[in-house]
Amino acid sequence: MKLIKLAAAVLNQTPLDWRGNQSNILAAISEARAQRASVLCLPELCITGYGCEDAFQAPGVQRMALRILQDCLPATQGMIVSFGLPLLHQNGLFNTACLAVDGRVAGFVGKRFLAGDGIHYEPRWFKPWPMGVRSRTSIDDQSYPLGDLHFDVGGVKLGFEICEDAWVANRPGTQLALRGVDVVLNPSASHFAFGKIEVRKRFVLEGSRAFNASYVYANLLGNEAGRAIYDGEAMIASRGQLIATGPRFSYADFLVTSGVVDIEATRMNQSRTASYEPRLEGDLHDVVVAPFQYPSLSPELLPSRSDDWESSSQIKEEEFARAVPLGLFDYLRKSRSLGFVVSLSGGADSSAVACLVSMMVDFGVRELGLEAFIRKLGHIKSLQGCKTAREATRQLLLTVYQATRNSGSVTRAAARSVADAVGAEHHELDVAALHEGYLTMISAALKRELHWDRDDLALQNIQARVRSPGAWLLANLKGALLLSTSNRSEAAVGYATMDGDTSGGLSPIAGIDKAFLRQWLVWLEKEGPLGLRPIPALSVVNEQDPTAELRPPTSKQTDEADLMPYPVLDAIERAAIRDKQMPVEVYQLMLLKFPRYDGPQMGVWVERFFRLWCRNQWKRERYAPCFHLDDENLDPKTWCRFPILSGGFDVELQELRRVVGRG
């Protein structure tokens, strides 16, 4: 037996937060040492932070990253630690993993495959390292190996797949296996998306099996830079079996997961594989040899483990209930805001946002304890002295219901009920006089009365906009962050009032569709996430038909009457925007998916979607930052680009009308 202990550290880093990032790195190294780990994998670009954007191109960032690396090296004595940082070489910037052995740099490996789709933009800043190329780089008059390398450290061979490297068909692990590599390290910055964990598990397990090696995967944790949330996945696998996994969505600054593997067992397993043909050409230029003495270990294999909730049949509901609150927590502390303000209408969207803030407190206190939770939000002095999570929620969350003459008693009662259930500080304001004042002023200016039959849209929007200044004033007075409450379905068709319900500095649910959100609220009312109680008060919200409540009550306004059924809207959106289908193709797909609706009606809805989508791109450009949750995001800054001005699918919609029989 040759037993060594491997460790993966997940870190909650912040771009360009040199002191904070270094502190987390050193704390993780210390914890790995306490767990008697010999090899520690830290996440991708952990020194600078992954989300530095164009700041990567600043020479000062490169200098500071190397300085932090040098400062951390003494902490690695007696250990093998991989660091992630950008490295400038021959005027090209490379995303690298630096392997430090016993307090010294052994060499740098360049990332071969850059993530350049979706929310990732690595080719804007970095160059891909070419396969089979080795070089040397000079840092402070010292020369170090750089390139497509692996390492022989104390007789144990280690290699790298850096995040995206493992997601491609020609992954570097294939070549590493031919060189007899014992341990593959994967430092990652892989953003959260619903169900993505299963893909990661597959490439970690399959990598360890196919390469006959041990595999260490370390991801980032938390809301690093504002939009992407990292679930903090840590996995250690060997010979196709998980040895250890860490918890996801932690509120800690760092977590270390470790496991013991048998190097001789993976070697012999590879030797017994008939298809394995070692590369014996004798080229030693791609291996860096470094001495190292591994401590003796007893034959203990840690059992794999995962969070209990991950076996739930409601995994998407559970992930949503954990990812967004963690994103809110990090946004709160990293922006140094003093809390959140939510304009609580009594409807599904604002109620969901209020509940997510409440769960942020509940999950954080449950994991860290109240004292540590408050300490992590030390800049919020009003939290000092809170004795319970509910008291902390009241300090962090202010909700406000703002009534006009078109507001009803049902939504007022629903808002009050939800605010009380989650423990928010709640206020009820009557903005009818402000609303009427605008109508009187504009009527006088135009020298005519405003009427619903002529001025419908303008009369709806002014009510939403008149609520915005009061919500902003409360947020300013509290030093808090105003949360926008618009969802993705509304963003797709522009069913939102700019500077009204879109007002806010952060839009936490703009990445989720309305159909799922309503389903999630029912789940939250009746079941709730594992470890927390359900919120029965949501029943009064869930019993309502979604409505903007901007027309007179006699109109019986509902969202779906204005637009179309939300399940249909969301299905059209996926087909048209995510899958890039044209109007006729979308129409044909929808007829198959929703056979209860006839052709003419579906044709109206499909055309309405495309027209509204094109008309409202400017709104999506102005939305507050939102969290990325899946590949259906509409955020034009990070995921879904579309021209503000376009031909509006006119030719394609004419074809649709001919197919439907209306043109």
Q: What is the pLDDT of residues 225-256, one digit of tens each?
A: 999 999 999 999 999 999 999 999 999 999 99
Q: How far apart are CA 208 and CA 159, in angstroms?
A: 12
pLDDT digits (tens, 9 = 90+) for 538-559: 999 999 887 777 778 787 888 8
Burial (0-12, 13-18, 19+ Cβ within 10 Å), 392: buried
**How many helices (H) and strands (E) would you count in the chain?**
21, 21
Averaged confidence pLDDT in the chain: 94
Cβ–Cβ contacts within 10 Å for residue 482, how many?
Answer: 24
Q: Determine the CATH number of domain 564-663.
A: 3.40.50.620
Residue 383 contacts residue 352 (beta carbons within 8 Å): no
pLDDT of residue 235: 97
pLDDT digits (tens, 9 = 90+) for 196-229: 999 999 999 999 999 999 999 999 999 999 999 9
**Tokens representing residue 426 in the block:** 């709640």
Place of tokens 């014996």: 280
Q: Per-residue confidence at 407, pLDDT binned at 50, 70, 90?
A: confident
- pLDDT top residue among 518 and 280: 518
**Tokens representing residue 49 in the block:** 């932070």
pLDDT digits (tens, 9 = 90+) for 37-73: 999 999 999 999 999 999 999 999 999 999 999 999 9
pLDDT of residue 269: 75
pLDDT digits (tens, 9 = 90+) for 431-487: 999 999 999 999 999 999 999 999 999 999 999 999 999 999 999 999 999 999 999
% of the chain at pLDDT higher than 90: 87
Q: How far apart are CA 357 and CA 339, in angstroms?
A: 10
**Range of lowest pLDDT (78-87, 193-202, 280-289, 369-378):** 280-289
Residues of the chain with CATH 3.40.50.620: 313-555, 564-663
**Distances from the Cα of 461 to the Cα of 189, 402, 428, 552, angstroms:** 41, 14, 20, 13
pLDDT of residue 544: 86
Q: How far apart are CA 413 and CA 317, in angstroms?
A: 26
Residue 462 contacts residue 497 (beta carbons within 8 Å): no
Q: Which of 628, 634, 639, 637 is nearest to 191 (CA)?
A: 628
Q: Which CATH fold topology does 313-555 show?
A: Rossmann fold (3.40.50)
pLDDT digits (tens, 9 = 90+) for 132-148: 999 999 998 899 999 99
pLDDT of residue 313: 74
> What residues have CB less than 8 Å from 441, skipping those under 6 apart?
none
**Tokens representing residue 538 in the block:** 């949501």
Judge whether residue 8 has pLDDT over 90.
yes
Query: Per DSSP, which regions of 291-346 are E strands?
Result: 340-343
% of the chain at pLDDT higher than 70: 96
Q: Decide which of 3.40.920.10, 3.60.110.10, 3.40.50.150, 3.30.1180.20 is the CATH code for 3-306.
A: 3.60.110.10
**Tokens representing residue 239 in the block:** 């010979």
Residues of the chain with CATH 3.60.110.10: 3-306
Three-class SS of residue 133?
coil
pLDDT of residue 300: 58
Q: How far apart are CA 93 and CA 127, in angstroms?
A: 6
In one-letter notation, the amino acid at residue 82 is S
Cβ–Cβ contacts within 10 Å for residue 60, how many?
Answer: 9
Q: Which of 437, 431, 415, 332 is nearest to 376 (CA)?
A: 332
Average pLDDT on 563-586 reads 96
Residue 528 contacts residue 318 (beta carbons within 8 Å): no
Q: How far apart are CA 106 and CA 458, in angstroms?
A: 66
Place of tokens 């070697």: 267
Which neighbouring-strand residues pair with 156?
153
Q: How far apart are CA 585 and CA 583, in angstroms?
A: 5
Burial (0-12, 13-18, 19+ Cβ within 10 Å), 5: buried
- Give the strand pairing for 150-153 and 156-160: antiparallel
pLDDT digits (tens, 9 = 90+) for 98-134: 999 999 999 999 999 999 988 999 999 999 999 999 9
Q: Per-residue confidence at 405, pLDDT binned at 50, 70, 90?
A: confident
Q: Per-residue confidence at 312, pLDDT binned at 50, 70, 90?
A: confident
pLDDT digits (tens, 9 = 90+) for 250-300: 999 999 999 999 999 888 776 666 566 666 555 567 899 999 999 988 765
pLDDT of residue 1: 76
Which neighbouring-strand residues pair with 135?
146
